[in-house]
Amino acid sequence: MPKPTLLVEDKPFDRDLAIVALERANLLDDTVVLNDGVEALDYLLRRGAYADRASGNPSVILLDLKMPRMDGVEVLEAVRAHADTAQIPVVMLTSSKEASDLDKCYALGANAYVVKPIEFRELVGAISDIGTFWAVVNEPPAGSIKHHLLPDS
């Protein structure tokens, strides 16, 4: 069973491309799509509009770097600082090739840093591969939504 994915992307065009890629990987039904970092933290920490959502964390966060209100670096810092979210894999999905962005994200605990390909086919392939690995292949830590669904062994 696929494990939920959290996609955080503020640009409608990039968000739509990511959604197409996740759909082609048969992962869209298990994806929560959010528009910015503030909304992502509200979702993850179950506050505001997401206070009543079911417990459990997504299998992976696909996180844009450059967003208004709260950028991806700030979200990554907050995710790693909070005990309930610290173990969630975070993949930075960005157009930035700047070494300082890459270094900062890895220093803060990003699990991967993927520069969005310019070609549509390459972008779809990259997002599909990322989503499939984290949502289907990888075994999540305790506290993930899939972990809550698995029978005790």
Tell whether 107 is covered by a domain. yes
Q: Per this entry, what is the length of the chain?
A: 153
Is 99 in a helix, a strand, or coil?
Answer: helix
Tell whether 74 is covered by a domain. yes
Provide the pLDDT for residue 106. Answer: 96
Tell whether 146 is covered by a domain. no
Confidence at 144, pLDDT banded by 50, 70, 90: low
Count: domains in the chain:
1
Angle (nearest 5°) at CA 39 between 128 and 126: 15
Does 105 have pLDDT greater than 90? yes
- Domain of 41 in residue numbering reads as 5-139
Confidence at 111, pLDDT banded by 50, 70, 90: very high
The answer to whether 36 and 70 are in contact (CB under 8 A) is yes
Tell whether 153 is covered by a domain. no
Tell whether 19 is covered by a domain. yes
Tell whether 90 is covered by a domain. yes
> Greatest CA separation found in the chain?
45
Read off the pTM. Answer: 0.84
Tell whether 149 is covered by a domain. no
Mean pLDDT of 10-22: 87
The CATH number of residue 47's host domain is 3.40.50.2300
Tell whether 151 is covered by a domain. no
